[in-house]
């Protein structure tokens, strides 16, 4: 399951969606908006995307994770629009029979989402000079 939304991410529902009788492990990664990056304060983030392409790529990444690891369930949700400090921007949940596969797939998914999916974030700072942030 993949989703892109302007609404807050329902973390409990996301985790429940990968919790099944055959899954002995569930891994949940939640990326939140942090207030500080080093000495630079952030007031919030605004996410924009090429939505159709982003959905397609998220679905492709889900399929690839299923091919690479013996996982049973995958759920990926990314926010768009304004995201306040400490709110979830992205969440990846993986359910698998065993923890190694769940951890590996979840880590790979978030890393690939950050580098491949056309979702951009603009950081707002106290100096009123928002700037776009790109993955390193």
Residues 9-54: pLDDT tens digits?
A: 999 999 999 999 999 999 999 999 999 988 889 999 999 999 999 9
Q: 86 vs 135, which has greater pLDDT?
A: 86
Please report the pLDDT score of residue 82 as a whole number: 97
Model confidence pLDDT, tens digit, residues 64-118 = 999 999 999 999 999 999 999 999 999 999 999 999 999 999 999 999 999 999 9
CB 109 within 8 A of CB 94: yes
Domains of the chain, CATH where assigned: 2-128 (3.90.1170.40)
Confidence check: pLDDT of 134 > 70: no
| Cβ neighbours of residue 7 closer than 8 Å, sequence gap 6 or more | 79
Q: Report d(CA 53, CA 118) in Å as an integer.
A: 7
**Other Cβ atoms within 10 Å of 92 Cβ, number:** 30
Please report the pLDDT score of residue 111 as a whole number: 98
pTM above 0.85, yes or no: yes
């Amino acid at each position: 399951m993949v989703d892109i939304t302007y609404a807050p991410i329902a973390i409990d529902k996301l985790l429940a969606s990968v919790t099944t009788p055959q899954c002995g492990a569930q891994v949940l990664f939640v990326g939140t908006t942090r207030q500080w990056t080093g000495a630079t304060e952030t007031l919030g983030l605004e996410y924009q995307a090429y939505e159709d392409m982003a959905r397609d790529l998220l679905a492709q990444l889900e399929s690839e994770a299923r091919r690479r690891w013996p996982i049973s369930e995958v759920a990926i949700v990314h926010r768009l629009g304004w995201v306040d400090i400490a709110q979830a921007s992205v969440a990846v949940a993986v359910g698998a029979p065993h923890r190694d596969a769940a951890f590996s797939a979840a880590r790979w998914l978030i890393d690939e989402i950050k580098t491949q999916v056309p979702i951009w974030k603009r950081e707002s700072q106290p100096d009123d000079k928002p700037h776009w942030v790109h993955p390193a």
